[in-house]
């Protein structure tokens, strides 16, 4: 199990966007926050499986506190999601 921080953009309303700052290019959307998080878990699992199959390193996780201070995520709320690659 890998625990990944996600930024959830609630500013625009539905559809909601979820971003994985530690997995560049890995994002998801959903018509509800719950759906967006479920889609995000699936996207991250697929993303990590591709990295593993390609024998690439899985990016190390940056501390969520540090991520929360980044300007591009100032309108986001944060969560930690469990990924099971």
Q: So where are the chain's domains?
A: 2-83
**pLDDT, mean over the chain:** 91
Cα–chain-centroid distance for residue 57?
Answer: 17
Report the pLDDT value the prediction gives residue 2, as an integer from 0 to 100: 84
Q: Tokens 């539905």 identify what position? A: 14
What is the structure's pLDDT at 13?
81
What is this structure's pTM?
0.86
Q: Sheet of 16-19: strands edge to edge?
A: 27-30, 16-19, 2-9, 76-83
Average pLDDT over residues 48-59: 91
Mean pLDDT computed over 33-54: 95
Contact yes or no for 83/45 (Cβ under 8 A): yes
**For residue 73, what is the DSSP state?**
G
pLDDT, mean of residues 45-53: 93
Dump pLDDT digits (tens) for 58-84. 887 788 899 999 999 988 999 999 988
What topology does CATH give the domain 2-83?
Double Stranded RNA Binding Domain (3.30.160)
């Amino acid at each position: 199990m890998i625990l990944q921080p996600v930024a959830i953009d609630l500013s625009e309303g539905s559809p909601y966007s979820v971003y994985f700052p530690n997995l560049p290019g890995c994002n998801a959307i959903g018509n509800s926050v719950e759906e967006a998080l479920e889609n995000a878990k699936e996207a991250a699992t697929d993303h990590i499986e591709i990295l593993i199959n390609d024998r690439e390193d899985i990016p190390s996780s940056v501390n969520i506190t540090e991520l929360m201070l980044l300007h591009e995520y100032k309108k986001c709320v944060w969560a930690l999601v469990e990924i099971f690659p």
